A and B are shown apart, each in its own frame.
Chain A
Amino acid sequence: MIVEDDPTFFNRFCRIVTLEPDFELFAAVRNGASARDCLTRGAPDVLLVDLGLPDMSGIDIIREAAQRHPNTDIMVVSVFGDEEHVLASIEAGATGYVLKDSVPEEFSGLIKQMRAGGSPISPLIARQLLQKLRPAQAPALAAVPGAPALSTRETEVLSLLAKGFSFCEIARMLEISPHTVTTYVKKIYRKLAVHSRAEAVYEASQMGLVR
């Protein structure tokens, strides 16, 4: 399912998906309202969302989709892959992102990787995740009560990612498969999303929105 308002990219994404034999287009919409409508009707395997929609923020769509269909892989379509937006999307429930200028092979490769259980990550995002999610060994440093702790392995993977090592290099260093590395990343994303939701609920209950 594609949610994108820019006609050029809308067409381009549709083309890529339809041309790839392994993919099937579930829905392609140009605004948030239609996207919501589609999400009530069924669960796509993969959701591609642009953040800048005319009627609402893509983040809202991500949040809704993540709650409604936990098995849907949500991918953010970003112009620059700027970390702030990507991180906000991950907190809302996205587990991947794709750059608008990436070439078609990379694009479909990323989607496949995500379906296979992996997630892409940049060094800067790895770094920020390291700061947000405290390693299990240092519980005293946990900034937010109830913040999920990273396992030792996850911490290791994140810090290597932050230093620019690729999945393959990390896999070699830690003697695991590259696929496992991407799986770690996806797990970490999920932790952050769950944590963000818990935080949101906590804050909402503090503000009296939820009883």
Chain B
Amino acid sequence: MKRARWGWSGSSTSMASGKSHRRTLWLSCCCLVWASLLPAHALAEDLPLTLSHAEFILDDSPSPPPDSAAWQALQLPDNWNVSRPQQGGFGWYRLRFDLPHTTDAPQAIYLRKLSMNASVYVNGAFLASGGSFEEPVARHWNRPLFFTIPPSLLKQGRNELQIRLWAYPNSRGGLDEIQIGSAAALLPHYERRYFVQTILPQLCNIVVAAQGLIALAIWARRRDEAYYVYFSAFALLWTIRSTHMLIRDIPIPTFYWDIWVQSSFGWCALLFNVYAMRYLGTRWRWMETFFLIYAALGPIAMYLAGPSKLHAVASNWSFAIVPLGIFCETFLIRAALRSRSLEDLLVTIVWALVIAAAIHDGFVHRDKLAFDSFYLVSYVMILLCLVVGWHQTSRMVRALNETERLNLELEQRVAQKHAELAANFERMQEMERQTAVDEERRRIMSEMHDGIGSQLIATLELVEHGEAPSPQVACELRECLDSLRLAMDSLERTDDDLLTVLGSLRYRLEGRLKRHGIALNWQVEDVPKLSALSPQNVLHILRILQEAFTNVLKHARAQTITVKTGVEAGWVFIKVADDGCGFTGNRVGRGLINMRRRAEALGATLEISPSPASTTLSLYLPRSP
């Protein structure tokens, strides 16, 4: 009984011992455990034979070489890097095995690990081929082969298996142990290995690609967070690169394909380093420049090395990136210690796993480990992407929570300010209202005092002294009434239309004019709006005109009064002309003084142009104050 071996490789077993053996395949990083227990019977129909004794000959003939050729015995696995360094090309393996009896059950041959391509012959007859042997040769370095054997090809007793193998020099060409037996018993072994080597990396690839696309989408909307684009480039490049584990027929010559596969590995490592450093807030331009130069040097060096030395150069170039990864790891550890967050710690741990896997793969590449070892980095990468993805997600969730909290706070503050403003506004409005009321009160008081009040007192005096005849008293009182009405009219809305003001004036005064037998020639025309027709100003205008009319009525003995409006040199004018006996000019009464005072308050110009046969009063109003 062979001891179970823990490790990255399947253990080699020997049929000759006839003992049971146990194989444990353990992939710690993916936490996937396959264990199988094979029964310990040496019956051909039950138990696959494991063939490890072989004979070999370097020969590029397309058909199996004869027995007379120089076959040399060897033990599988046969790694050409070890057994015949620098050697590439075709080689033939011959394996012999004994069958105690034939069977009708389908038999199969299972090649666990080979590189790069192989075809199989049974007892001299061609069985199957892994694909093209022409450049670029079908790639099976990471893929087991499984062929069913028609029962008719096998015979009782000694059988012979010939395998034609193509290997590239220094690229771990070779052949591992071969198993032969019932197809039903071998198929699960083949499928398991096929799953781990090709299906599982594909699944990992999908996750990594998705992470890369998400990071790219974030970066597209947040250009200032450039580290996302490095992560995205890393993840997407890794996805594309990882196809080399699955692809059988490559579109370009093997030499260039190898340069791409080997270089892109280093590029990914460098991109992740830049991402991690930048994410942690460290941005050393010299270091990034160095990375860029190093990244460019790799493929150039590989190209110059040529096919035979490519793998040695690539191996050294890639391995030199490991210290960089460790350097980056120290940054990650420091950040994790500082923040003490689980996410940072996980990134640190997984990055350490990546480095460990890369070192492991480096050893595999340098033939320090078993021939059939898996390359592990691909499996660890999914962990890295998941952890980084989680990291990004929790960062975003934190930001969202913070935003919501801030919004809430902001809303509260806005509401508070709003209430304060509203209160202020109300206070100010109240004050404004109060001011307006006060102003209006003052205006009405002065109007009562200077206008109607003094008129009434004068009339009262006339009546008390009994001097005036009642028609004169009536006339004075009507004047008082008119003044009062004009004061009321001045409070109406005017919409800055002067003609409305004049219209009311006419309406109020017309009765009186008619009684005096004076005709009114109304020649108003539309004038531009006046911007300052406040009640106060309206009253000023009304009073000036009222005074003018009163003067005409009292002194001019006119037949007609003409009222005209219009625009002259940017001023809006109102002209009141009569055809009476004229304004003598030497009588400067209180009325005239009041008119001038009111005109001044309006910012207007008052002109009185007397002539023997008529008087024209012109009031020029500014269009805006």
Contacts and interface: CB of A to CB of B under 8 A. Distances in A.
A123 B507 CA distance: 7
A102 B506 CA distance: 16
Interface stretch (B69-77, B88-96, B483-491): B483-491
Contacts of B484: 80
Interface residues of A, number: 20
Interface stretch (A8-16, A54-62, A146-154, A164-172): A164-172
Contacts of B522: 164-166, 169
Interface residues of B, number: 19
B499 A83 contact: no
B485 A80 contact: yes
Question: By DSSP majority rule, is chain B's interface helix, strand, loop, or mixed?
Answer: helix
Contact of A124 (B478, B481, B489): B489
A35 interface: no
Interface in A127-167: 127, 161-166
Nearest to A164: B503
B492 A83 contact: yes
B505 A164 contact: yes
Contacts of B503: 123-124, 126-127, 161-165
A166 B511 CA distance: 12
A82 interface: yes
A80 B502 CA distance: 18
Given A106-B511, A122-B504, A169-B522, A164 B499 contact: yes
Contact of B504 (A102, A103, A124, A169): A124
B111 interface: no
Contacts of B489: 124
A127 B364 CA distance: 102
Nearest to A121: B507
Given A124-B500, A162-B500, A169-B522, A101 B481 contact: yes
A164 B506 contact: yes
B524 interface: yes
Contact of B500 (A106, A123, A169): A123
Interface string B521-564: 01010000000000000000000000000000000000000000
Interface in A80-104: 80-83, 101-103
Nearest to A120: B507
B510 interface: yes
Contacts of B488: 80, 82
B565 to A, nearest CB: 9
Contact of A164 (B485, B502, B511): B502
A199 to B, nearest CB: 21
Given A80-B484, A164-B522, A166-B522, A122 B502 contact: no
A124 B484 CA distance: 16
Contacts of B492: 83, 124
B500 A102 contact: no
Interface string A26-56: 0000000000000000000000000000000
Interface of A: 80-83, 101-103, 106, 122-124, 126-127, 161-166, 169
10 contacts: A103-B511, A124-B489, A124-B492, A124-B500, A124-B503, A162-B503, A163-B500, A163-B502, A164-B524, A165-B524
- Can you list the 8 inter-chain pairs with the closest CB atoms, starting with the nearest? A123-B503, A164-B503, A164-B506, A163-B499, A122-B507, A163-B503, A123-B504, A164-B502
Interface of B: 478, 481, 484-485, 488-489, 492, 499-500, 502-507, 510-511, 522, 524
